[in-house]
Amino acid sequence: MTAKRVLTERAQALPALAECFRTHGFEGASLSLLCAASGLGKGSLYNFFPGGKAEMMEAVLAQIDDWFAQAIFAPLEQADDPATAITAMMAAVTAYFHGGGRVCLMGWIGLSNARDGFAGQVEGYFARWIAALARCLKSGGVAAQSAMRHAEDAVAGMQGALVLSRALGDQAAFTRLIERLRMALLDALAAA
């Protein structure tokens, strides 16, 4: 019999729950899998998350959004040097997604049947990312319409790079695609 961990805060369970959702999706992450991943019993999980699996996913998505807000969105929104901010964004994205080896849970949920239950969180995450990147590009002199187009292309390209590298089993594809996206954004700044 495996001893269950004692966690004093629900936030401590979120990384393990996130990885379980990344591996199995919302629908496939059963309570048994979530318990095994977190090392918590059902009673402890329900103590931390009385709303069940939906509350667990909401908390996981909120934690992801908080990380991106601090590490990606705010630096883009407040950039004094847009080129440096874009390069830092790409480095942070590469690190966060483990060089293409980690699924984007926001993207996963956005594509799944569970999307409707978390639509506000998913839409807010992607909309803020696009807006933050567009704002950064505009601060570097890129025209508003062009900045928005480049931002949408870049965020879509990062998501596509994750899918392609996972589908091919080739993390180097992620790195190559991220570098091309970075260079396209820097070229847009240089042309402004």
Give the pLDDT score at 1: 43
Q: What is the mean pLDDT of the chain?
A: 93
Dist CA 169 CA 113 (whole Å): 25
Mean pLDDT value across residues 71-98: 97
Amino acid at 170: D
Span 25-35, pLDDT tens digits = 999 999 999 99
152-185: b (≥16 Cβ within 10 Å) or e: ebbbebbbebbebbbeeeebebbeebbeebbeeb
pLDDT value at position 3?
A: 46
- Do 100 and 160 touch, CB atoms closer than 8 A? no
**How many whole angstroms separate alpha carbon 77 and alpha carbon 29?**
35
Fold adopted by 61-191: Tetracycline Repressor; domain 2 (1.10.357)
pTM, full prediction: 0.90
Are the C-beta atoms of 64 and 54 separated by less than 8 Å?
no
Model confidence pLDDT, tens digit, residues 3-14? 445 445 778 899
Give the separation between CA 56 and CA 48, rounded to whole angstroms: 9
Label residue 102 by pLDDT band (50, 70, 90): confident
Q: What is the mean pLDDT of residues 103-125?
A: 92
pLDDT over 80 (residue 2): no
Ranges of H-type helices in the chain: 14-28, 31-38, 42-48, 52-68, 74-77, 82-96, 105-111, 119-139, 144-168, 171-191
pLDDT at 8: 55
Domain extent listing, the chain: 61-191
pLDDT at residue 147 tops 90: yes
